[in-house]
Structure 1
Amino acid sequence: MLKVDGKLMPDRLQGVFMRTLPKRLAILIGILAVVFLCVDAYPRSGSEAETAEVGEWQFLWDPGHSNAVTDTPPEQVLHASNWTSMNEHTMPPARPRGAALAWVRIDIPQLGWPIPAVLVEKSSGRDVVAYTEYRKLFESDRKYRYTMNELLLPLRAEDAGGSLYIRMQIAEEGAGIVQHIAFGSFYELLTVYLTRDMLDIMLGGSFVLIGLVMLVCAIFLNRNYLKPWMSLVFVILSIGLLVVSYSPFLFTLYPAYGGILQRLFDVALFALLPSFLYFFQTIFGKGPRNIVFYLGRFQLAYSAFCLLLLLLNVLTEERYFSLYYLLTTTVLGVLMLVELLTMLGCSVLYSLQRNKDALIFNGGLAIFAGVGILELVLYYASKEQYDLYWWKWGMVAFVISLIVVLGRRFVETHNQVLEYSKELEMFNNELQRAEKMEIISELAASVAHEVRNPLQVTRGFLQLLGERSAVSEKAYIGMALEELDRASGIITDFLTFAKPGAENIKTLSVSEEFRHIEGVMTPLASIHHGRILLELEPDLYVRGNSSKFKQAFINMIKNSIEALPAEEGVINVRASKENGSIVIRIRDNGMGIGPEELKRLGEPYFSNKTKGTGLGLMVTFRIVESMQGTLEFDSEKGAGTEATVRFPEASE
């Protein structure tokens, strides 16, 4: 039971809570994804016609080997003649010995905008400084190893026809030193700049918010739901932190916190993989030969090792960064590929077993793994110069699938609990009924014989008195005899219930037995303006006692006759063979009974008749049970009642 404001939440409301919360989270993420995709697409298409893009620039290794930052580019750079033309796909020339700094020169076109500016969507280097020929535009002095920069630099009208110089420290050469250069209106480029990077912040922040909401909701969860829920919380939080800390926007806007953001990215990556594997394990199991379990254990240990390396890297001020990068980026990337492919293979196996959760998980994982693997291949193929972009949208699709799978699992678990509760209630009712039957059976066996003998003696003396009594007294003696006969009938029912006649068991022909029953019950049916219609398939046989078989069905048909309406009533008796069983159905068009009364049929002393004791139907249940059969009733007020009896088929 859940507690809300200190009060217990009913099971029904708890079930609604379990079912709706994951679905709402999935819908929320889906809506955010659609909005972000629309926002992401709009500024690019709307601003291309109003900007001037540059596809080529010049590259130069710093000839002076000086790290000093001046107000204008050095003279040897302004007058250098060995500039090399490049684009985002070409490699820079070989690095001269001892050279660490490089220059990029971009020709400034005619500036026809009121407030001109230039947008460099990516420049790969540290300690970036931007100049025109006569002034400094931008300076970034980073103390951490994050080489991605995004520059939006305002220009002046007199800068037209000149050049833009960008100096940076390059650790590793590769294509894409500078990418996507565009000149245009400052406000138009600012819109592109903010929208493009704010998208990552909004998307990542949404993941973080959803993860925190789920973390709060975990307080109200039952322990049985806690493990998969918390693993999904860590997956979503890790993804959100990865998206936020990967964007260059925060590094550009808050350069002083860049080191913290970079380490936050590493921690989120280390936490994502073991959380992901554990979630898979809690939902689908340990995988073939426990492969997912062992991978999860190994990844947990390796992530702990990476956290230790991160701590050492910080304490040593990145003195051994190359080793740290190898173990936490290159090796971890390979492990990620292996784990994604392993989980994808396992989910495919589960999907082939028609597991719906596996199909949903497989769809989300296929999108994420496909996009992630493709981008990782492009990243390493481009010597780590490829700008990872589409992976976050693969993450959105995958997280939605995870939430849907977890929601389905919660609903399934809740339905199982309800089913177990119903079965427990049914078993409890059966136990109570069995105890009642046992008590009545013992009572009948111990008392019935002793009571019948005095009744018979009393009846004999009353008959003698009736022969000698006056006419006026004979009516009273007749009434007494009728009541004694009724009491004797009740005792007989008690005896039948205590021992429903296991003797004289033989193979009975259903059609022959019902012909005798029809002959006995037709006069009673005629008195009540009813008819008995038999529809019996040939060659139907059961094992039992003939007299008790007749007694059981006479009781049921008698009840149907007494329930017939004042106008013409019909009682249909059908017998057929179904799946190796003999099925006998008795249906009338009488008044019917309600669901509450239907549940109590067969209980002792429960009857709708004025003088009924309920023992007749109780005896009928006992006889059917002694013949290894089952008896069920289906009824509706004003629509009649149908009794269905199933017996094991016997051979002729």
Structure 2
Amino acid sequence: MAIFALAIANRQTGAAEASESSAVSIKEWEIQWFADSNKSERPPSLTGPWITADISEPETSIPKGYDGAWVHVAVPPTADWQTPGLLISQLYGLDISVYEDGGLLYRSSRDFSFDRNMLLLALAPKTEPSDLYIRIESMDRAGPSSAVRIGDFYELSETFIREELPSVLLGASIAFMGLLMLLVSGYLNVQQRRAWVSLSLIALTASVMIVTYSTLPFIYFEEFGKGLQFAFDLSMLTVFPALHFYVASVFEGKLAFFKKFGRWFAGYSVLGFLVLILNEMIGDAFFFYYKLFTFWLLAPLILVHLLLVLGQSVIQSVRGNRNSTIMGLGFLALAVMGVADMLKIYAKDSVPILHLWKVGIVLLIISLIVVLARKISADHRRLLSYSKELELFNHQLQRAEKMKIISDLAASIAHEVRNPLQVTRGFLQLIAGRSDEASKPHFEMAINELDRASGIITDFLTFAKPEMDTVVALDIQQELGKIESIISPLAAYHGTVLEVRIPDRLYVLGNPTKFKQAFMNMIKNSIESIQSNGIVKIEAHAENGMAVIRIADNGEGMDEDQIAKLGEPYYSTKTKGTGLGLMVTFRIIEVMKGTLEFRSEKGKGTEALIRFPLARQH
């Protein structure tokens, strides 16, 4: 046995090489399969068939009819280290026993089926090579899949923790983020909360998968091994249905097949959950079905889901859905990483330890967070827009109610008041003609005030009945030209210049008299708002099937509160104004199916934009 061990040691020490930390990496070992129904720990047969394995071809799949493997490792001299140790960071096995010189050196046993393990043990300092025999019992995989490192025990322990700790910290960070998102979800509305909770669930389940895929928790919390393994499998069955629900909230349209696939996936997850329960209840006898539903069938199903999401993301992106583009990139990253890991699986007889999917999960979660942030931002913008529209609607409703009251009032009393005013005016004119010169100014003042009252009554009547008796196609250039000739003397009196630029062939439907009344009111208001060196610009153009008329001045201007009150009865920025003229103007433009909008800034003038539907001319 010593001669055989020395020969093996001489052959394998050539495969050992020193690293920067002075540890020795052994990249070759020997495997002998065993079938032991009695579970006895008899020593391996030194003359039996041994299979040479290395890190490129670790030979970890247990052949049919066998229960495990003996692994022979030739250990070089360990006297160079004060506390020598051995580390196999990636080792498949459930029950592990290590023998040196015929004596038991280490033993570990698991009562759960998570076969990813590690081996870290202290060795005695020796000046000569020695042989270690590792007995491994497992379900379908047994043996090392990484190099066997010999070095200082404490340095090897730190090395293992450094290799495994990043995954644990990454998973813990994602879990903290998911839990925090879940706690603050109550501050969102129902529609936002659904996607938010889905993303929280995705983050929490993904974090559990990342943490429990690492060997570290199973080594330091071995008593919770069953719970950790169950948590990983449950998270695997939960994360993708939650992901599907989140994705469906981003895509637009009916997506009948996509939603049906989501229901299938959810049904499969429920079936997988039942398989997990049965596996816990039945044990090893159910292991084949457990592996079938939680890995061999689930992995292709996940890949199909990723491809389906990617295809739908491309379709939605073509339709202009930017969120689909961002999310598609995240899924593409996960799909690429997942395909790379699956290629590693099918390229080897044994299932290797996969890491790329963790990077894909992180990139996907980042993309989902960006999409959710964009959705919440868009919802906020829509809410602000809706609030402004609601405020405008309430303002218009209040104005409409006031207009209705005035309209009803005007219709009921305007004629009754106007008749006695005309009679009174006639008698005053008659008496004034017979009075002395000293009394005539008083009569003229009374007659002027009666005329002013009559003008107000006329405005009331116009507002109460703005219907057009005659509707014709109006040439805007011609009509505004007439208004310019009428209003020019008033503009000259106030030292204001009128600049009229109207293109030809702009036609709208309306009544010429009402049209003139409305625009003369607005142009007159612009002229009277100017102190000196005034300019009133009147322009027009066609835009999207509408005739747009712009009246701009460089007068005093108005603030937002004043603009909001324009058109209300008895509100005017002029000292002696009643506000009825502009109120009638709004009413006339409304009857002509047009709109009137004011833009102004204090001290910088006012701009009125009037829009009418264009009329066709044959």
Compute the TM-score of the two structures, normalised by the length of structure 2.
0.90
Q: Does 1:645 align with 2:610?
A: yes
Q: Does 1:365 align with 2:331?
A: yes
- How far did 1:415 drift? 2.7
In structure 1, stretches of 5+ residues that fail to align are 1-45
Q: Does 1:457 align with 2:432?
A: no
- How far did 1:214 drift? 2.1
Counterpart mapping for 1:107-126 below 5 A: 107-111=74-78, 112-126=80-94
- How far did 1:458 drift? 0.8
Other-structure match for 2:368: 402
Report the number of matched residues.
599
Measured against aligned partners, the alpha-carbon deviations of 1:184-205 in whole angstroms (never above 9, x if no partner) come to: 3334322221011122222222
Other-structure match for 1:127: 95
In structure 2, C-alpha distance between the alignment counterparts of 1:525 and 1:96, rounded to whole Å: 105
Of residues 471, 495, 511 in structure 2, which corresponds to 1:505?
Answer: 471
Of residues 230, 239, 259 in structure 2, which corresponds to 1:263?
Answer: 230
RCO higher in structure (CA 8 A, sep ≥6): 1
- How far did 1:443 drift? 1.8
Counterpart mapping for 1:41-440 below 5 A: 48=20, 50-61=22-33, 67-68=39-40, 74=43, 80=47, 82-90=49-57, 92=59, 99-111=66-78, 112-133=80-101, 135-158=103-126, 161-172=129-140, 177-284=144-251, 288=255, 290-440=256-406
Q: What SS is found at the alignment partner of 2:86? A: strand
Letter in 2 for 1:478: E
In structure 1, C-alpha distance between the alignment counterparts of 2:538 and 2:467, rounded to whole Å: 24
Q: Is the 8 A contact 1:493 1:615 kept in 2?
A: yes
Q: What SS is found at the alignment partner of 1:144? A: coil
Q: CA, structure 1 residues 94+504, in 2 after alignment: closer, same or farther (shift >3 Å)?
A: closer
Other-structure match for 1:602: 567
Q: Is the 8 A contact 1:91 1:173 kept in 2?
A: no
Q: CA, structure 1 residues 378+548, in 2 after alignment: closer, same or farther (shift >3 Å)?
A: same
Q: Is the 8 A contact 1:116 1:185 kept in 2?
A: yes
In structure 2, C-alpha distance between the alignment counterparts of 1:502 and 1:93, rounded to whole Å: 94
- How far did 1:538 drift? 2.7
Other-structure match for 1:12: none
In structure 1, C-alpha distance between the alignment counterparts of 2:203 and 2:427, rounded to whole Å: 91
Other-structure match for 1:528: 494
In structure 2, C-alpha distance between the alignment counterparts of 1:555 and 1:321, rounded to whole Å: 90
Other-structure match for 2:536: 571
Other-structure match for 2:14: none
Q: CA, structure 1 residues 453+563, in 2 after alignment: closer, same or farther (shift >3 Å)?
A: same
In structure 1, C-alpha distance between the alignment counterparts of 2:179 and 2:390, rounded to whole Å: 38
In structure 2, C-alpha distance between the alignment counterparts of 1:336 and 1:162, rounded to whole Å: 47
- How far did 1:475 drift? 2.2
Q: CA, structure 1 residues 492+364, in 2 after alignment: closer, same or farther (shift >3 Å)?
A: same
Measured against aligned partners, the alpha-carbon deviations of 1:547-576 in whole angstroms (never above 9, x if no partner) come to: 2222222111111111112x3211112233
- How far did 1:577 drift? 3.0
Aligned residues: percent identity? 41
Of residues 634-643 and 290-299 in structure 1, the stretch that sits farther from structure 2 once superposed is: 290-299
Letter in 1 for 2:555: G
Other-structure match for 2:8: none
Measured against aligned partners, the alpha-carbon deviations of 1:248-282 in whole angstroms (never above 9, x if no partner) come to: 11222232322222222122222223222222223
Of residues 149-158 and 260-269 in structure 1, the stretch that sits farther from structure 2 once superposed is: 149-158
Q: Is the 8 A contact 2:93 2:141 kept in 1?
A: no
Q: What SS is found at the alignment partner of 2:285? A: coil
Other-structure match for 1:8: none
Of residues 553, 572, 593 in structure 2, which corresponds to 1:628?
Answer: 593
Letter in 1 for 2:196: W
Of residues 420-429 and 142-151 in structure 1, the stretch that sits farther from structure 2 once superposed is: 420-429
Measured against aligned partners, the alpha-carbon deviations of 1:412-450 in whole angstroms (never above 9, x if no partner) come to: 233323322322222222222222222222222221111
Other-structure match for 1:546: 512
Q: CA, structure 1 residues 48+375, in 2 after alignment: closer, same or farther (shift >3 Å)?
A: farther
- How far did 1:364 drift? 0.7
Q: Does 1:580 align with 2:545?
A: yes
Q: Is the 8 A contact 1:552 1:620 kept in 2?
A: yes
Of residues 620-629 and 236-245 in structure 1, the stretch that sits farther from structure 2 once superposed is: 620-629
In structure 1, C-alpha distance between the alignment counterparts of 2:228 and 2:474, rounded to whole Å: 86
Q: Is the 8 A contact 1:591 1:637 kept in 2?
A: yes
Of residues 163-172 and 199-208 in structure 1, the stretch that sits farther from structure 2 once superposed is: 163-172
- How far did 1:313 drift? 2.0
Q: What SS is found at the alignment partner of 1:179? A: coil
Of residues 483-492 and 404-413 in structure 1, the stretch that sits farther from structure 2 once superposed is: 404-413
Q: What SS is found at the alignment partner of 1:102? A: strand
Q: Is the 8 A contact 1:65 1:98 kept in 2?
A: no
Q: What SS is found at the alignment partner of 2:146? A: strand
- How far did 1:142 drift? 1.3
Q: CA, structure 1 residues 546+312, in 2 after alignment: closer, same or farther (shift >3 Å)?
A: closer
Letter in 2 for 1:139: R
In structure 1, C-alpha distance between the alignment counterparts of 2:60 and 2:419, rounded to whole Å: 122
- How far did 1:487 drift? 0.4
In structure 2, C-alpha distance between the alignment counterparts of 1:216 and 1:444, rounded to whole Å: 61
Letter in 1 for 2:110: R
- How far did 1:103 drift? 1.9
Letter in 1 for 2:451: D
Q: Is the 8 A contact 1:459 1:484 kept in 2?
A: yes
Measured against aligned partners, the alpha-carbon deviations of 1:106-156 in whole angstroms (never above 9, x if no partner) come to: 222344344332221212222112233365442111122222111222333
Of residues 609-618 and 123-132 in structure 1, the stretch that sits farther from structure 2 once superposed is: 123-132
Q: Is the 8 A contact 1:59 1:103 kept in 2?
A: yes
In structure 2, C-alpha distance between the alignment counterparts of 1:93 and 1:375, rounded to whole Å: 18
Q: What SS is found at the alignment partner of 1:158? A: coil
- How far did 1:172 drift? 3.3
Q: Is the 8 A contact 1:118 1:154 kept in 2?
A: yes
Q: Is the 8 A contact 1:132 1:159 kept in 2?
A: no
Q: What SS is found at the alignment partner of 2:271? A: helix
CA RMSD of aligned residues (A): 2.7
Q: What SS is found at the alignment partner of 1:146? A: coil
Q: Is the 8 A contact 1:281 1:287 kept in 2?
A: no
In structure 1, C-alpha distance between the alignment counterparts of 2:61 and 2:273, rounded to whole Å: 36
Q: Is the 8 A contact 2:60 2:92 kept in 1?
A: no
Q: Is the 8 A contact 1:108 1:159 kept in 2?
A: no
- How far did 1:368 drift? 0.9
Q: CA, structure 1 residues 388+561, in 2 after alignment: closer, same or farther (shift >3 Å)?
A: same
In structure 2, C-alpha distance between the alignment counterparts of 1:479 and 1:131, rounded to whole Å: 127
Q: CA, structure 1 residues 506+340, in 2 after alignment: closer, same or farther (shift >3 Å)?
A: closer
Letter in 1 for 2:273: L
In structure 2, C-alpha distance between the alignment counterparts of 1:95 and 1:519, rounded to whole Å: 105
Measured against aligned partners, the alpha-carbon deviations of 1:498-519 in whole angstroms (never above 9, x if no partner) come to: 2235123333333332333222
- How far did 1:465 drift? 2.0
Q: CA, structure 1 residues 648+84, in 2 after alignment: closer, same or farther (shift >3 Å)?
A: closer
Q: What SS is found at the alignment partner of 1:533? A: strand
In structure 1, C-alpha distance between the alignment counterparts of 2:335 and 2:440, rounded to whole Å: 98
Of residues 511-520 and 348-357 in structure 1, the stretch that sits farther from structure 2 once superposed is: 511-520
In structure 2, stretches of 5+ residues that fail to align are 1-17
Of residues 618-627 and 418-427 in structure 1, the stretch that sits farther from structure 2 once superposed is: 418-427
Q: Is the 8 A contact 1:118 1:182 kept in 2?
A: yes
In structure 1, C-alpha distance between the alignment counterparts of 2:213 and 2:267, rounded to whole Å: 24
